[in-house]
Chains A and B, each alone.
Chain A
């Protein structure tokens, strides 16, 4: 098995190196290196958006989420993604329209320019850094613990994590955003192949959809409806998740950048529809895997279930392809996020472009190191940690939306400070320093509602 994995792995890394080399340019200015020339077509846009959006969280987290909490996981992710996709043609269009009026290197710089406030840019940069680094970390950790569980004799978990971060750093530092996007095409295809092979095998085990759900009903009927056996999928959880996920293209910079650098609105529209179908294709097999786990491995731990389903129950070759698919899923999202953090920093730096790009590249290295450290320390609850990251960055949404839709956002002096305060309050609730619910309402929903109302009131007052 290890030998098969090594051969396929070397082939995969070889292709990544080739792509990075092909994308390499001697012109390391912000437009070429950080924005890939800002002229992205629909096909490349679709693959890079899909590979960046669907990560370890989808491939490893969702099957376990289906297994433990049942079919409500479909509403949690697929319904939310479908709303997000519609939002792309509405909000995404307006973001592009405004962002392309001037030079766009990142959301922080975009806000700094619209609010005419350096503080607004810094708040955006702090917000995305705080909540993206843990998200990068859990993806690296997810795959590293999986690889360690599969090959306990070969390498420790930290070594797998370090290898992944090293590979990411090499090709993104060499080839810039273009290399990341080229590799996303490969990683998106790998992800889809891996997820469908395992999904099909899980379904085949039962002989069909009907037989599968009949078996699940015998084992645990509560998995077939909401809120699920543990009561997780209540209105607040699903509604809060929908809001956080539909805002991702604007609150997570690795995605916003891809919207802005698309060459025209037609490319944006084609990409949006493609992502909608791709989401269905990616999430559906994770339901099959989850139901398989619910019947065959109901009492296994997350790591045991994933290891048994993805590797032990597959042939050597399929197991190796799946593992490369998993690594690809983790790398394709994490590299984009680390790179986007570098872009965010660049967008608020002032000075000679070449020098600023150099600083951004250095910062990417440090973001990678922070993510690696966090990966070695964080918990294994991938989906819930990812959701926390989504909820955290969603607190930037009212400030971002006011920047996109309100032409006089420079008059909204209190928005950046209020956003920063709500981020700090949310963090305090995550650490348990203050309650995570007030009057039975989740803190993330409450804070986002407060910020949205506050922003609207500010705009209405200014209009008067």
Chain B
């Protein structure tokens, strides 16, 4: 039951990340600051975004209801 809840959390978190990616929070038009380690804003936030999504996928594999089939 707890796993089902975590799985739902993963799906919601991915949905939120998708929405946020298409907002100025990730892709402000014509803006490349603040930079991080020299990387322009949308690039480093995009890398973080991708890492979070892959991390959620990893968590998803641990809590997916059908993982033991």
Query: Which of these, A85, A90, A209, A211, contacts B53 with CB under 8 Å?
Result: A85
Interface size class of B (residues with CB under 8 A): 35 or more
Chain A at the B interface: SS class: helix
* Bound CA span A399–B16, Å: 26
**Which B15-69 residues sit within 8 Å CB-CB of chain A?**
18, 21-22, 26-32, 35, 37-43, 46-47, 49-51, 53-54, 56-58, 60-61, 64, 66-69
Complex contact A280–B51 (CB within 8 A): yes
Are A211 and B60 neighbours in the complex by a CB distance under 8 Å?
no
Which among B14, B28, B60 has the greatest number of chain A C-beta atoms within 10 A? B60
Q: Shortest Cβ distance from A90 into chain B, in angstroms? A: 7
Give the distance to chain B from A65, nearest Cβ to Cβ, in Å: 14
In contact, B53 and A265 (Cβ under 8 angstroms)? no
A179 interface contact, C-beta 8 A:
no
Chain A nearest CB: distance from B44 CB in Å? 9
Residues of chain A lying within 8 A (CB to CB) of residue B47: 74, 78, 280, 284
Instruction: Tell me if B11 is interfacial: C-beta within 8 Å of chain A.
Output: yes
The answer to whether B49 and A82 have CB atoms under 8 Å apart is: yes
A285 to chain B, nearest CB (A): 13
Partner of A270 from the list B18, B53, B61 (CB cut-off 8 Å) is B61
Closest chain-A Cβ to B57's Cβ sits at a distance in Å of 5
B40: which A residues are within 8 A, CB to CB?
Answer: 71, 213, 224-225
Are A280 and B29 in touch, CB under 8 angstroms? no
Task: Tell me, rounded to whole Å, the shortest Cβ–Cβ distance linking A144 to chain B.
Answer: 32
- Pair B30/A222 contact, Cβ less than 8 Å: yes
> Are A269 and B67 also in contact (CB < 8 A) when A209-B37, A211-B38, A225-B41 are?
yes
Write the A234-257 contact mask toward B (1 if CB under 8 angstroms, else 0): 010011001000000000000000
- Determine the chain A residues whose CB is within 8 A of the CB of B18 once the complex forms: 83, 242
- Chain A: interface residue total (CB-CB under 8 A): 48
Q: Is there an interface contact between B46 and A74, defined as CB atoms closer than 8 Å?
A: yes
Instruction: Name which residue of chain B comes closest to A88, CB basis.
Output: B57
Q: How far is A221 from B27 in the complex, measured between Cα atoms in Å?
A: 15
Cβ-defined contact, A273 with B57, below 8 A: yes
Which of chain A's residues have a CB closer than 8 A to the CB of B67? 265-266, 269
Q: Is A287 an interface residue (CB 8 A)?
A: yes
Query: B11's closest neighbor in chain A, by CB?
Result: A90
CB <8 Å contact, A273 and B69: no
A264 contacts the other chain (Cβ, under 8 Å)?
Answer: yes
Return chain B residues, CB-CB under 8 Å to A265. Answer: 64, 66-69
A83-B18, A238-B22, A264-B69 are contacts. A280–B54 as well, Cβ < 8 Å? yes
Please pick, from B26, B29, B54, B68, the residue contacting A227 in the complex, using a CB distance under 8 A: B29
A163 at interface by CB-CB < 8 Å: no
In the complex the two chains form, what is the Cα distance from A270 to B57 in whole Å? 10
A449 CB to nearest B CB, Å: 16
Q: Are A82 and B37 in contact, CB atoms less than 8 angstroms apart? A: no
Q: Other CB < 8 Å A-B pairs besides A213-B39, A227-B29, 11 of them?
A: A71-B42, A79-B53, A83-B14, A85-B54, A86-B10, A86-B53, A86-B56, A89-B61, A225-B30, A273-B58, A280-B54
